[in-house]
Chain A
């Protein structure tokens, strides 16, 4: 049961253009969403996050949009740079029935982004 889905295995973009990575989730109990970037032979590194009470969060070239009704979020990178080439993972956190969360992340399958010079 894949609760967090990234349906595009890969994305290729020209340098300077916008990269849009998409993520869908099925569990309405998720209340916090994150994007991680992963280079080969390294662990995932945190990029940007958004709470379910917001619909947009921006950090420099990176913006995350959340559409709760559609259970969809996206990551926009503008402008894209060759150094952005990596695997991008969408992740979600939910609280348990008691309202407790330990920061447990549920990940999507990842999207390989390639930015061409």
Chain B
């Protein structure tokens, strides 16, 4: 398996533009997570899905952020409009919780820079 695949690896955009980050989880995994890493806040969970259904989006910072999982093999995280403070590394991870005790596998991340 190729692991969790994220695209793009790097994104530079101007303030106010829409940004879409993409994730393909590991085949067979039924939980998918979006994390954001910043110097100030470390790794923070934004939203997670189970069986394609959003379970908890309380970590989404603002209404400008939205996430979808239309099927088991694809998810998107969208920021519209983007702001400089959204600059961070965004990670997608997937897992197959077996009683909740299974590690999550992470993608390589998308480094977002909003100028």
- Residues of A participating in the B interface, judged by any CB pair closer than 8 Å: 31-32, 34, 36, 41-46, 49, 51, 89, 93, 95, 100-110
Residue pairs across A and B with Cβ atoms less than 8 A apart, 18 shown, are A32-B100, A42-B108, A42-B109, A43-B109, A44-B91, A45-B106, A46-B105, A51-B101, A93-B100, A102-B31, A102-B50, A102-B97, A102-B100, A103-B100, A103-B103, A104-B31, A105-B45, A107-B44
* A45 proximity list for chain B (CB < 8 A): 106
Name B43-67 residues within 8 Å CB distance of A. Answer: 43-45, 48, 50, 55-56
* A42 proximity list for chain B (CB < 8 A): 108-109
Contact B45 A103 (CB under 8 A): no
Chain B nearest Cβ from A73, distance in angstroms? 15
* B109 proximity list for chain A (CB < 8 A): 41-43
Nearest B-chain residue to A34, judged by Cβ:
B103
Chain B nearest Cβ from A28, distance in angstroms? 16
B95 CB within 8 Å of chain A: yes
Provide the main secondary structure of the chain B interface.
strand
Contact A100 B100 (CB under 8 A): yes
* A93 proximity list for chain B (CB < 8 A): 100-101
Rounded to whole angstroms, the CA-CA distance of A43 and B97 in the bound complex is 19
B21 CB within 8 Å of chain A: no
Residues A101 and B91 in contact in the complex (CB < 8 Å), given A44-B43, A46-B105, A49-B103:
no
Contact B106 A43 (CB under 8 A): yes
Contact B104 A110 (CB under 8 A): no
Residues A101 and B100 in contact in the complex (CB < 8 Å), given A41-B108, A43-B109:
yes
Chain A nearest Cβ from B78, distance in angstroms? 20
Nearest B-chain residue to A42, judged by Cβ:
B108
Rounded to whole angstroms, the CA-CA distance of A34 and B97 in the bound complex is 14
* B102 proximity list for chain A (CB < 8 A): 103
* A102 proximity list for chain B (CB < 8 A): 31, 48, 50, 55, 97, 100
